[in-house]
């Protein structure tokens, strides 16, 4: 008897180098019910970094039940309780969505070894979903093209289509469905993971409460930054940072402490809570300053974990 087909893939984290968010879609559009009511149009320059989850998918025989396991890798920088129903994990949802598309069961065992912190705004769940879609297609030999996978991805979350891209950097527009690859800029960032997470839905609700007035995202601004060919930290921005701090006020202190300790540009990624420090050509010395501030007793950084992350280049996503 042949061994079951199995594949291991990496699900990389992302950072938002620029993020513009508009007011939510209205309840009605063009005289009818708007199926996207409440969703926020956005424009974002996203890039993958070398921090990643590990997804192992093994095909099972016809008639066998599927199984999903989610746990933390021993090297995870910020493990937290897996306190959500495994069946609702985005990797499990991605598998079931693919079954719906092909109209039959695709029995698998999916093992997710997480390293990307939950609630950090680094896209861990979305990346897991995209990796699961690719892996299930492979182990079951499905003749589905990439366009079909992208259609499935759109129903799973606004970040999932980006993670199906064959390139590690892109401009994302619409509700996440428009993905335009751009040249990666390379270099390093320092990701600081606070001891709190930010639920995405809560951050968007706070964004609305704070009185967003932009009817359309700043697409041209984001495109210009992404096409500049270099990373200028002082030009980067995140429209959700104030909302994330509204949800978790302690994040304001983390940002200020890192600015004071490093003298570098500091910005949250996505809906938070991860805070990015842009160290230029000196990631090691910047890390030393952060660790010195922590060991010196700066209470604002208590419980924070810092790590140097590399922005991926083309051809590094295997």
Strand partners, 108: 59
Quick one: tokens of 251?
Answer: 């994040």
Q: Give per-residue pLDDT as tens, 94-106.
A: 999 999 999 999 9
Whole-number Å distance between alpha carbons of 128 and 93: 10
* Summary mean pLDDT of the chain: 95
* Range in 14-23, 35-44, 54-63, 299-308 with the lowest mean pLDDT: 35-44
- Tell me the per-residue pLDDT of 257-300, one tens digit each, with 9 for 90 and over: 999 999 999 999 999 999 999 998 999 999 999 999 999 999 99
Total length of the chain: 318
Average pLDDT over residues 223-230: 95
Residue 4 reports pLDDT greater than 80: no
pTM, 2 dp: 0.95
d(CA 156, CA 150): 10
Distance CA 148, CA 167 (A): 18
* Structure confidence by residue, pLDDT tens digits, 160-204: 999 999 899 999 999 999 999 999 999 999 999 999 999 999 999
Q: Which residues of 76-101 are buried (b: 16+ CB within 10 A; e: fewer)?
A: bebeeeeeeeeeebbbbbbbebbbeb
Alpha-carbon distance of 200 to 198, in angstroms, equals 6
pLDDT at 154: 92
Burial of residue 292, with CB atoms counted within 10 A of its CB: 0-12 exposed, 13-18 middle, 19 or more buried:
exposed
Tokens of 37: 């009511």
Residue 159 known to be catalytic: yes
Q: Identify the three-state secondary structure at position 130.
A: helix
Helix (H) / strand (E) element for 252: namely: helix 250-262
- For residue 38, what pLDDT band results from cuts at 50, 70 and 90? confident
Q: Percent helix, strand, coil in the chain (nearest 5)? A: 30, 25, 40
213: exposed, middle or buried (C-beta count within 10 Å: 0-12, 13-18, 19+)?
Answer: exposed
Q: For 28-34, which contacts have Cβ atoms below 8 Å and span 24 or more sequence positions? A: none
Q: Which residues touch 100 (CB under 8 Å, ≥6 apart)?
A: none
Is the pLDDT at 318 greater than 70? The verdict is no
Give yes or no for a contact between 178 and 62, defined as CB atoms under 8 angstroms apart: no
Confidence at residue 1, expressed as pLDDT on a 0 to 100 scale: 41
- Mean pLDDT confidence for 221-242: 96
Catalytic residue among 14, 109, 114, 294: 14
- For tokens 């199995």, the residue is 6
Looking at the chain, the whole-number percentage of residues with pLDDT higher than 70 is: 98
Catalytic residue among 53, 89, 128, 159: 159
User: Cβ(151)–Cβ(298) under 8 Å?
Assistant: no
Band of residue 61 on the pLDDT scale cut at 50, 70, 90: very high
> What tokens were used for 24?
């939510």
CB distance 27 to 69 below 8 Å: no
pLDDT of 25 > 60? The answer is yes
What is residue 286's predicted lDDT score, i.e. its pLDDT?
Answer: 97
């Amino acid at each position: 008897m042949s061994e079951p087909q199995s594949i291991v893939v990496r699900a990389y984290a992302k950072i938002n180098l620029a993020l513009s968010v508009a007011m939510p879609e209205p309840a009605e559009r063009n005289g009818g019910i708007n199926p996207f009511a409440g969703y926020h149009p956005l424009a974002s320059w996203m890039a993958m970094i070398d921090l990643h989850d590990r997804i192992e998918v093994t095909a099972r025989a016809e008639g066998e039940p599927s199984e999903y396991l989610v746990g933390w890798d021993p090297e995870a920088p910020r493990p937290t309780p897996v306190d959500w129903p495994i069946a609702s994990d985005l990797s499990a949802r991605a598998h079931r969505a693919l079954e719906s598309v092909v109209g039959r069961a695709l029995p698998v065992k999916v093992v997710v070894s997480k390293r990307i912190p939950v609630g950090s705004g680094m896209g861990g769940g979305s990346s897991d979903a995209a990796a699961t879609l690719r892996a299930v297609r492979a182990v079951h030999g499905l003749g589905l093209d990439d366009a079909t996978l992208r259609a499935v991805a759109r129903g799973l979350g606004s970040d999932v289509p980006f993670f199906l891209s064959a390139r590690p950097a892109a401009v994302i527009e619409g509700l996440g469905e428009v993905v335009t690859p751009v040249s990666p800029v390379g270099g390093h960032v320092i990701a600081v993971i606070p001891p709190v997470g930010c639920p995405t839905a809560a951050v968007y609700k706070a964004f609305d409460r704070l009185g967003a007035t932009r009817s359309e995202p700043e697409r041209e601004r984001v495109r210009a930054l992404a096409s500049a060919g270099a990373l200028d930290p002082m030009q980067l921005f995140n429209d959700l940072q104030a909302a994330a701090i509204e949800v978790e006020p302690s994040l304001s202190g983390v940002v200020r402490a890192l600015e004071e300790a490093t003298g570098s540009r500091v910005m949250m990624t996505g809906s938070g809570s991860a805070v990015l420090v842009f160290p230029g050509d000196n990631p090691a010395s910047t890390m030393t300053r952060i660790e010195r501030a922590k060991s010196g007793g700066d209470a604002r950084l208590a419980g924070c974990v810092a790590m140097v992350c590399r922005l991926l280049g083309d051809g590094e996503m295997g």
